[in-house]
């Protein structure tokens, strides 16, 4: 019984420490298509995370203690990845956003010769606290 009590107390202490380290919970993102632009070799899609103001900037702090993003050893704590809404194929990602305000206007490009997405969604991965949130699927008219 004593051993069980020690394990329960230790579990509560670890949980409290993780919560203090993680801070506020990661909200679920909401995305909306904004515009499409035809470029010489690509079609560029602009979108917004419409609830970006709900995200604490703590999620976008440089995190040299976490794995690097390519050569960027100070990539953000939270990474944003973009996926095709039909089938979930990876399209593009952001690993160095510095604030939630940057999510008000983001882009991704698809080569003209490739099939174009008819919808998309994003995930936000809080790498420090091992939490991933998926957005709604937004249609591309």
pLDDT, tens digit only, all 141 positions of the chain: 555 544 445 444 334 444 568 999 999 999 999 999 999 999 999 999 999 999 999 999 999 999 999 999 999 999 999 999 999 999 999 999 999 999 999 999 999 999 999 999 999 999 999 999 999 999 999
Pinpoint the alpha helices (H) of 1-141: 2-22
Question: What DSSP line would sit under 9-26, residue for residue?
Answer: HHHHHHHHHHHHHH-SPP
| Domains located in the chain, CATH noted | 25-139 (2.60.40)
Give the pLDDT score at 19: 52
Give the pLDDT score at 20: 60
Q: Scan for tokens 């089938």, then name that residue.
A: 87
- State the virtual CA torsion across 81, 55, 64, 73 in degrees, nearest 10: 40
């Amino acid at each position: 019984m004593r051993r069980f009590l020690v394990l329960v107390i230790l579990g509560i202490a670890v949980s409290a420490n993780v919560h203090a380290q993680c801070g506020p919970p990661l909200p679920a993102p909401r995305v909306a298509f904004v515009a499409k632009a035809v470029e010489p070799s690509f079609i560029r899609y602009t979108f917004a995370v419409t609830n970006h103001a709900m995200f604490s900037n703590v999620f976008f702090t440089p995190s040299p203690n976490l794995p690097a993003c390519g050569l960027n050893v100070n990539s953000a704590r939270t990474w944003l990845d973009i996926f095709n809404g039909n089938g979930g194929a990876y399209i593009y990602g952001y690993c160095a956003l510095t604030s939630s305000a940057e999510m008000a206007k983001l882009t991704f490009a698809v080569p003209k010769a490739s099939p174009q997405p008819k919808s998309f969604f994003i995930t936000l991965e809080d790498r420090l606290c091992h939490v991933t949130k998926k957005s709604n699927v937004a249609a591309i008219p």
